Each structure stands twice: as structure tokens, then as C-alpha cells.
Amino acid sequence: MKYHVITLGCQMNLSDGERVISVLDKAGYQWTDNEEEANLIGILACSVRQKAIDKVYSRIHKWNKWKNHKNLITFISGCILPDDHEKFLKLFDITFQMKDLPKLPEMISNYGITTPLHLKVGIDPHNENIEQFWDVKPNYQSNFEAFIPIQNGCDKFCSFCAVPYTRGREVSRPSRDIISEVALLAAQGYKSITLLGQNVNSYGLDKKGEEITFPQLLREIGELGKRLKKDFWVYFTSPHPRDMTDEVIEVIAEYPVLAKQIHLPMQSGDDKVLMRMNRKHNMEKYRHIVESIRRIIPQATLFTDIIVGFTGETDEQFDNTRKAMEEFKFNMSYTAIYSPRPGATSHRWDDDVALEEKKRRLHILTEELRKHNFPYNNSLVGKTVRVLVKGADRKEGFLSGHTEGKLIVRFAADDENLVGQFVDVKITSASDFSMEGELVEAGSLKSEVGIPKPVATV
């Protein structure tokens, strides 16, 4: 039987998808890139954004029509709200929580080809049996870039967020397994490894006395990098400002293998909005973290997440977010228009910022980002930076990749053997969100490799 799996949403779903593929491969199913050839089609959904859920409905209606002329089994899992689960029970043949992935071949076998079976699975807030899911060896979809889950679920209950209701409460994966997976990937020549969690820097807090903390985990990985003498970068996403400590920043500064890039979600630059969001941090706390980053790792790039048009956000409160962007000069911001999610606390509140106003605010923040992104990128012109080559660029005859700080760089080259390798590139020009350069041959100028200090610091 041929199968096809579609993954929507964040890197956590992508990582989960690698385990789904591994389980189906082991069960004897054969992957196909063409969903029309498949007799088994699955989707890993994301209830965090309505747009992703809309894509699910579009796909399943098409697939169910195919059942009129072919044998087809459909399944769905992923990051799904209970309300969405209820609706999907009527549309998909099999629904299950990701922690029950090892049972998927049995579910398919019990389903058969002609007898309908609906597996009603509610969200388990305690994430029981999640370690059985983590024990599944993933089928990595890249031979140089990998994602490692270090926890599942979230205890923060931000008022806008559905994750505690889709993935349950925080559970930390055993550190020995995380470190073993990092060691295996590094030994196999992987160049980029990302630790994943809804709130990575609360790692271990659910198992006090039984597990190490997040900075200790980073230190163990840093020491591993020193022992292996392998060349790779380790990232993590996403931390929460409430649990971000100077110790984490100091450990990153100490070990070369820990990439000098930090993704620190701000969500809003206004304290009152942050309170309504139940973010459990204020701008004074956030500012302290940024100041520590700039002081301890001045070469680090800084990314963030922002929501515009949250319930009750006034023009003045929005402008405080704009001012915060001006102050912190982020290298990148993933800015989203607020949309209420069923199950999240804010879903009960009036969505009182008009869509057109939300779009206007999004445009303003995008332009604010450009103001600071371009000068930083332009400061690299004439310097040589290290780049992990990720593949062909949209510009014909060019390859592209990213720096240690995850800044996009393209360069003229036709040697596909460079994909998945580190190369040195001398930057010749810059734009708002990317740079262009020339490949530096081995043995040429090396002294300037790296990322300079920010153009402007806090």
C-alpha cells in the first residue's frame, strides 16, 4: 500500500511527521510523492492558525470524493483542538493523538478497506505514554538538518494560545535520549540541529530532582560538541521570556557549537496587552534579557514573534510595540494577525480590532523591521561569513543558505555537492531580508568569518 503524508504548522509538527513516516515505513507501507497514487493519506494538522485548519477541510473534501472510485484510508493527527477533533471524526477514517503513533499500523489494520472505523481520541492533559512516541526513531527528511523534540505540551496558558489544549501539559523528554540523538546526528555529519519545545527553557522543571535544567542540557550538548570535534550548529525554539535566564545566555556564549542566534517571542511591546495575553512577563523583564544578550553575546542575531490586533489593543498600545521594535532592532520578526482560537481563553472575548486595522498594523511593523534589518545586513558587505548551504536559490544559477545567525545568503554556484556543507561567502550586496555574495575558495581569506556586532545595541 502506498501512502502520502502532509504536514502543516510549525517545526514540531515537521518533527512529528518524521516519526509518522518512520512508523509507516517500518510497517511495510511505501511512500509516494503523488497523493493521487496513495491508498493511505494522512495529514498532521495545526489548530493554532485558522488558515491551517481551512487547508485541512479543503484536502479532506477532495480525498473523500476520491473514495467514489478508489480504496482510500485517511487519517489525521497533529496539534488539534478538541472541537476540531470532534469535527474531523466525521470526515477522516482515523484520528489519533500523536502519543499513540506506535499504534497507527494496528489502527489501519483494524480499519480495513471497506469497514468504516472512527477512533475518538480526546486530548490527554498529562501526556501519558509520550515517551513511547519519543522512542520511535525518526526518518529524518534531510541529511544535514534535523529537529529534536525535547519536551511536549505547555503550562503557560497564554490567553491567545491553543497549545495547552492541543498538546497537553509540559512533559520533558529524558536528557540522556536527547543527548544521544544529538551525538548520533553529529557523528553522521549533520550541520544544523534544532531543539524543539513549546517552552524549551522550562525544560526539566516538571521533573525537579529527576532531570537536569535547560542551561545544564545546553552545557552537556556544548561539552559533547567539544569532545566530538565535529562542526555543527545547535539552535533551540522557542524560549519564553519568563524562564529565560542569564545562565542560558552565558552557556551559549561559552560553547562554539551553540549557535549565536536567539528567537525570543515578545508578542507585544505593551505591558497591559501582555497582561491580557497572560504572558507572565513585562517589558522590563524582556528588556533585561535583550540587554544581557547584547552584552554577553554581542554577535548574536535576535528574532521574535509578535501578534497585532489582539483583543482590546488600542492605537497607543500598538505604537508601544512599534517602539519596542525600534528599540530592539530585531533581525527578524514573525508577525501574525490575531485570530481567536476555540478553546483558548481569548476566544470568549470580543475580537474588536477590525481586520483592515490589523492589516494596517502588520504593514507598519513590517516596514519598521525593514528599517533595522537592512542596515544590519548592509554592515556585512565586504565581510566574509560562514554559510550552511541549503539548496538552489530562486535566482537561477545561485545556491542559498543561512549564516549561524540564520540570515539568508545567496551566491553564484552550480555545484550541488555544496548543499549541506559549510562554505565561506564574501558579501557583496544586501537587501532587506537577504544578502548576496561570492564563494570564497578553500585556502582564501578566512579571517573575517563570523557575524559582527549589531549596528545598534540596546
Residue 139, domain extent? 133-376
Three cell numbers written together for 338: 490575531
Q: End of a domain among 327, 351, 376?
A: 376
Same-domain status, 234 and 179: yes
Read off the pLDDT of residues 426-454 as tens digits, 9 standing for 90 and up.
999 999 899 999 999 754 444 343 333 33
Same-domain status, 93 and 197: no
* pLDDT value, residue 123: 54
* pLDDT value, residue 175: 97
At residue 236, φ and ψ (nearest 5 deg) are -150, 150
Give me the CATH number covering residue 340.
3.80.30.20
Least confident window among 15-29, 159-173, 244-258: 159-173
Q: How many C-beta atoms lie closer than 10 Å to residue 119's C-beta?
A: 17
Same-domain status, 275 and 206: yes
Residue 454 within any structural domain of the chain: no
115: CB partners within 8 A, 6+ apart:
none
Same-domain status, 194 and 83: no
- Whether the pLDDT of residue 418 is over 50: the answer is yes
Q: How many C-beta atoms lie closer than 10 Å to residue 441's C-beta?
A: 9
Give the highest mean pLDDT range of 7-21, 134-148, 163-177, 357-371: 357-371
Give me the CATH number covering residue 76.
3.40.50.12160
Please indicate whether residue 414 or residue 192 has the higher confidence score (pLDDT): 192
Same-domain status, 178 and 301: yes
Selection from 254, 246, 408, 268 nearest residue 331 by Cα? 408
Same-domain status, 359 and 419: no
Q: Is-contact 440 425, C-beta < 8 A?
A: yes
**Mean pLDDT across the stretch 352-362?**
97
How sure is the predictor about 125, in pLDDT bands with cuts at 50, 70 and 90?
low
25: CB partners within 8 A, 6+ apart:
31, 139
Selection from 52, 26, 100, 103 nearest residue 3 by Cα? 26
pLDDT, averaged across the chain: 89
- Whether the pLDDT of residue 456 is over 60: the answer is no
Residue 31 within any structural domain of the chain: yes
Same-domain status, 7 and 140: no
DSSP 90: T
**Mean pLDDT across the stretch 91-105?**
88
* pLDDT value, residue 449: 39
How sure is the predictor about 46, in pLDDT bands with cuts at 50, 70 and 90?
confident
Same-domain status, 295 and 334: yes
Please indicate whether residue 103 or residue 343 has the higher confidence score (pLDDT): 103
* pLDDT value, residue 445: 42
Read off the pLDDT of residues 127-186 as tens digits, 9 standing for 90 and up.
667 888 888 899 998 999 999 999 988 888 999 987 887 788 889 999 999 999 999 999
Same-domain status, 366 and 391: no
Read off the pLDDT of residues 265-304 as tens digits, 9 standing for 90 and up.
999 999 999 999 999 999 999 999 999 999 999 999 999 9
* pLDDT value, residue 363: 97
Q: End of a domain among 328, 356, 376?
A: 376
133 alpha-carbon distance from chain centroid: 19
Q: End of a domain among 54, 78, 111?
A: 111
In the chain, % of residues over pLDDT 90: 70
Residue 455 within any structural domain of the chain: no
Selection from 286, 193, 298 nearest residue 240 by Cα? 286
Q: Is-contact 434 408, C-beta < 8 A?
A: yes
Residue 451 within any structural domain of the chain: no
* CA atoms of 418 and 189, how far apart (whole Å): 14
Give me the CATH number covering residue 415.
2.40.50.140
- Whether the pLDDT of residue 403 is over 80: the answer is yes
Pairing of the two strands 398-402 and 384-392: antiparallel
Q: What is the DSSP string of 93-124?
A: SEE--GGGGGGHHHHHHHHTTTS---------
How sure is the predictor about 126, in pLDDT bands with cuts at 50, 70 and 90?
low
* pLDDT value, residue 124: 58
* CA atoms of 238 and 303, how far apart (whole Å): 10
Residue 445 within any structural domain of the chain: no
Q: Is-contact 367 360, C-beta < 8 A?
A: no
In SS3 terms, 15-59 reads as HHHHHHHHHHHHCCCEECCCHHHCCEEEEEEECCCHHHHHHHHHH
The domain tally of the chain equals 3
* pLDDT value, residue 114: 38
Q: Which residues pair with 147 in a beta bridge?
A: 194
What does the angle CA 274 – CA 278 – CA 283 come to, to the nearest 5 degrees? 30
Residue 71 within any structural domain of the chain: yes
- Secondary structure element (H or E) that encloses residue 60, with its range: helix 50-66
Residue 446 within any structural domain of the chain: no
* pLDDT value, residue 113: 41
Same-domain status, 291 and 308: yes
- Whether the pLDDT of residue 91 is over 70: the answer is yes
Residue 151 within any structural domain of the chain: yes
Same-domain status, 160 and 99: no
At residue 178, φ and ψ (nearest 5 deg) are -65, -50
Same-domain status, 82 and 190: no
